[in-house]
Amino acid sequence: MSEALTSAASILPCGGLGTPFTSAQYVFAAERVIVNLVDNAAEAMEGSLVRRIVVSTRAVTPESIELTVADTGCGVSPEDKEKLFLPYFSTKGRGTGLGLAIVSHILAEHHAQIRVEDNQPAGARFLIDIPTAAVAEVDWSPVEAKA
């Protein structure tokens, strides 16, 4: 993301109920979500013989888009799946346990939902359901960055 866009996104107030997100806020939020999920996927594959991350999108219905981040890492245990998006929960020996909680919060602000499933033959698959209405509500008019 360009420095100007990052600066513009970081100084704008967050969209809220009745306040559409700006395009800069939307792009910044989407980038933060995807980068977090891809970083986590890369870490999960550190010991894997096959290392593959796939990021894809598809239209599920006219009202919903699905974004998927899948990896061939160690996967997520059934017990951890229930706690994965809670603040301060981590499966890593280091870190704050806030990454996926922040991802979940960002998505909720955009009326989107995230879930995790097993990837086949190995790894995890994070699926994000994005209502197309949330994208349509974004104010896509140009944003001028302030220096």
Read off the tokens for 9. Answer: 């996104």
Check residue 6 and give its pLDDT: 33
Predicted structure pTM score: 0.78
Query: pLDDT digit string (tens) for 48-102?
Result: 999 999 999 999 998 899 999 999 999 999 999 999 999 999 988 777 889 999 9
Q: What is the DSSP string of 7-42?
A: HHHHHSPPPBTTBPPBHHHHHHHHHHHHHHHHHHHH
- CATH number (3.30.365.10, 3.40.50.300, 3.30.70.20, 3.30.565.10) of 3-10+20-136 reads 3.30.565.10
Q: Is residue 54 within a helix (H) or strand (E), and if so which, with residue range?
A: strand 53-61
Domain boundaries, the chain: 3-10+20-136
